[in-house]
Structure 1
């Protein structure tokens, strides 16, 4: 999920999100077109204090007994679904402090069927929306029939006390703000630090105590309270993209409570923030090459005649809008290069979006019409046509990232990371930005970083099913292969194809294997090709 622009964008925000805004449902709609690497993984004693307290048994802490004893009060909600809230502590080190309501939705609540918890990615994406609005396009009919599928909004996301930093008007102004061409790098850096300090203070003031507790390990602990409240002896889980990291965090904290885990579009949890950004930038660079080859071979794609010419046309378009932002009608809003790249990336998540991308590129290049890119950038930012932001997942994303990763924050180190990024991803690298300055001025220190699987649990992790796609631009297949190697008891499906997330109705090879595991518990060790 692309990130946002600011007056000193490259110093303060990442455009590509390291897992980063990676959602299971990032394909365009039909009407749209017309960070520093940890040198060594933390040992168990370096994990968040809350993680050390609960390894193996989430109900061991007597202070959490009432949370685990909850019984969901399901109420009928939209589209024949069932909704409820589950109470968790804001701070697991002080569970008697302020509580937090986590929003849940389920397609069914049959006591005869197992529950399977889901997460669509992000961090910052809404699991309630995925299950409530997109379930048929995400989960197979067999899984829907045999299991109770539960979505939730993680802490700090949307209905679960979503992180608040800006009003709708402030968000529009922030996204459309242009960099000052008169500033030199030193002045830009100083200005970025000042802006980051103001933003952090504003987020802390509007969000409150929760801002310091939206990290992945705290969200994983919420998942175990949800498990207990649902009356499940073990947690069955289906995570996509960032949701795979959330699942791996749960497995570290509660290895003995892991049930049937299916993790699609795997993240590599050993990576630091910079590794994630570089890998994703390279992934989108390769996806652009795939799009360019498709375009050059399609008669109706008239952008250019050769793949190299298509790529060059995209680079020139980015440079042109970087030099002179454009006005998009009919609203008369400004589209800067950060918003353009954000919108450009959206249809690249799946080959099904390439036709829309080609049409949008043609309109931009030949007629100066950038409406589609503004539309897609707004989708990524959560902005409705009315100008209202349903919820600002980008702020939840940034909050999680600042707590989850240690990042380079001095000017020299950030410049060095920019140089590597631009060298390895010449199309997207120059526009990606860096969140080190923002996180350095964040009101809360990071509580974790990358880790080796099993190092926090201090034991080998249990069997689970991992899925990777060879042409995934957002979560490279190498991440899935690395995690499979790090968890010897795991199984891996490698899908030969394009796009982000392989498990989807119609992709029978993948869905058959995943469904057999989720529904029947049938899992053969090893690696499978689809």
Structure 2
């Protein structure tokens, strides 16, 4: 399996959520499932084609608008669930449910802030419920009700469901026969993808045709209406920036204080796409290698660098390690075999944050000595697989469903091989394992929707667009392009490595965002935060 989805999403994983969640989250599932049973009808698929009638959508929003019934989940946290229409284009549609998690300040809240961690497929309920500090800093959480939501198809909301844990293991970790891209390998990959896609269609109760970003954006406006807010204040990370952009395009006059961090701009002429993204991760890997060889603490932690020679020689060693496990996979204690694709996933996992670089040092030290344990630990973290072998979320399923609905296409084998060659040229270490991403979407049971026109959102309030110069998942060029594209966009730059910028300890970034979210202060110019 390859690491990254098709555009418009720019990454599968938003690594802002710690895996050890508060006890409050144990209560969420039981609560939301109970509410969902009461409100959700039988979902029947109606593929949304063409433009949704504004009168139909307005009628449905009016029909479904109702105050959120919150239930105390412990501490400062409250759980809720609302109904939404399955198909925003069909006035007779059945219902789905959307799960919410709210953190309230100790005093009177000045307003509501909706947050999304990205993905697509990551849980906003988990983001806020794990600890509100994983979503915003204290300057915001002490003033606003911070609300995480799971978009349609995701997590505790009406969710895409596919294979059981054993089947998901085969889909994500299975060793395919032959060399990558060979006829034998492609046949096995297609069979694997078809099994996965068929299970998703069977087990998702008609959701697959309706998990598009535009429908999720309409859900966001329904949440706004249910909260009784005239405008929506919103903070979106990574894919969440695309979700926010689509919302701004649909509802520009309802845009309140918007912050888009780790901007995903699928319309950008520069940046974007799997080739640019893979190049970004390869560049970050090279930056890590440079720090590792210099025995810098941020890279090695309390260990020593297991790589030797020059930077280029060390990169060649990593490439050789990937080739080695491709030829001779390493067997883990649980019986799984570590192949090159899984090792590449493990390498990418810590590259989202420089704070996780020491994990790369541990990974290379152990794998170079024939021990696959750390590689599986990191790959499992990326895939949100627990040590017990169960999957903590449906991120893989939701991510695939959303991307195939929005970016899937009938791509020929020749075109995929051409892209694979571009990947290998652009990123010689990681690129060979990132091709053929269209195979699963080629087998997908729902036809892709037309891609939306570029959003400019005239009439929207100020929108802060945050970009990090060394962001491997959403290249900085996309932030620059999106800020320019949006009529009211304001670029905020962080110099450094890692994915996203806010709430990660950069005082300049945090002060700028807090001033906007709390006081409405728009920066007069890009603060160029170092």
Above 0.5 in TM-score? yes
Q: Per-residue displacement from partner, 1:57-105 (whole Å, max 9, x unpaired)?
A: x99722331212x111100114531000011011111243220110000
Structure 1 residue runs of 5 or longer lacking an equivalent are 30-47
Local SS of the residue matching 2:131: helix
Q: Give the superposition deviation at 1:527.
A: 2.3
Distance 1:164-1:102 versus aligned 2 partners, 3 A rule = same
Structure 2 residue runs of 5 or longer lacking an equivalent are 21-47, 297-303
Q: Per-residue displacement from partner, 1:86-139 (whole Å, max 9, x unpaired)?
A: 110111112432201100000018774210000001001000000000322441
1-side partners of 2:230 and 2:521: how far apart? 19
The answer as to 2:171 corresponding to 1:171 is: no
1:432 to 431, 434, 437: 434
Alignment match, 1:469: 468
The answer as to 2:248 corresponding to 1:251 is: yes
Distance 1:221-1:478 versus aligned 2 partners, 3 A rule = same
Any conservation in 1 of the 2:5–2:12 contact (CA below 8 Å)?
no
The answer as to 2:316 corresponding to 1:312 is: yes
2-side partners of 1:61 and 1:149: how far apart? 26
Alignment match, 2:349: 346
Distance 1:189-1:381 versus aligned 2 partners, 3 A rule = same
Any conservation in 1 of the 2:114–2:235 contact (CA below 8 Å)?
yes
- Map residues 333-482 of structure 1 onto 2, 5 A cutoff: 333-365=336-368, 367-407=369-409, 409-449=411-451, 451-454=453-456, 459=458, 461-482=460-481
Distance 1:208-1:524 versus aligned 2 partners, 3 A rule = same
The answer as to 2:37 corresponding to 1:21 is: no
The answer as to 2:212 corresponding to 1:212 is: no
Q: Which moved more, 1:199-208 or 1:282-291?
A: 199-208
Any conservation in 2 of the 1:17–1:277 contact (CA below 8 Å)?
no
Alignment match, 2:491: 492
Q: Give the superposition deviation at 1:302.
A: 3.6
TM-score normalized by the length of structure 2: 0.87
2-side partners of 1:183 and 1:101: how far apart? 41
The answer as to 2:330 corresponding to 1:301 is: no
Any conservation in 1 of the 2:7–2:403 contact (CA below 8 Å)?
no
Any conservation in 2 of the 1:118–1:238 contact (CA below 8 Å)?
yes
2:64 to 62, 67, 70: 67
Q: Give the superposition deviation at 1:52.
A: 4.6
Any conservation in 2 of the 1:91–1:213 contact (CA below 8 Å)?
yes
Q: Which moved more, 1:13-22 or 1:200-209?
A: 13-22
Local SS of the residue matching 2:451: coil
Alignment match, 1:37: none
2-side partners of 1:319 and 1:131: how far apart? 40
Local SS of the residue matching 2:79: strand
Q: Per-residue displacement from partner, 1:458-516 (whole Å, max 9, x unpaired)?
A: x4654200100011111111110111111242111110111111101521100100011
Q: Which moved more, 1:70-79 or 1:16-25?
A: 16-25
1-side partners of 2:525 and 2:286: how far apart? 31
Q: Give the superposition deviation at 1:348.
A: 1.1
Any conservation in 2 of the 1:119–1:151 contact (CA below 8 Å)?
yes
Which protein has greater RCO, CA pairs closer than 8 Å, 6+ apart?
Answer: 1
- Map residues 31-46 of structure 1 onto 2, 5 A cutoff: none
Distance 1:258-1:274 versus aligned 2 partners, 3 A rule = closer
Q: Give the superposition deviation at 1:183.
A: 9.7
1:268 to 265, 268, 280: 265
2-side partners of 1:16 and 1:223: how far apart? 22
Distance 1:146-1:505 versus aligned 2 partners, 3 A rule = farther
Distance 1:371-1:182 versus aligned 2 partners, 3 A rule = closer
Q: Give the superposition deviation at 1:402.
A: 0.7
Q: Give the superposition deviation at 1:372.
A: 1.5
Runs of 4+ in 1 over 6 A off after TM superposition: 26-29
Distance 1:189-1:309 versus aligned 2 partners, 3 A rule = closer
Any conservation in 2 of the 1:27–1:350 contact (CA below 8 Å)?
no
Q: Give the superposition deviation at 1:195.
A: 4.2
Q: Per-residue displacement from partner, 1:406-455 (whole Å, max 9, x unpaired)?
A: 4351111111111111111111110013232321221111113263222x
Any conservation in 1 of the 2:272–2:474 contact (CA below 8 Å)?
no
Any conservation in 1 of the 2:419–2:435 contact (CA below 8 Å)?
no
Q: Give the superposition deviation at 1:306.
A: 2.2
Any conservation in 1 of the 2:460–2:488 contact (CA below 8 Å)?
yes
Alignment match, 2:515: 516
Alignment match, 2:299: none
Q: Which moved more, 1:185-194 or 1:346-355?
A: 185-194
1-side partners of 2:178 and 2:344: how far apart? 19
Count of residues in Structure 1 that have an aligned counterpart in Structure 2: 494
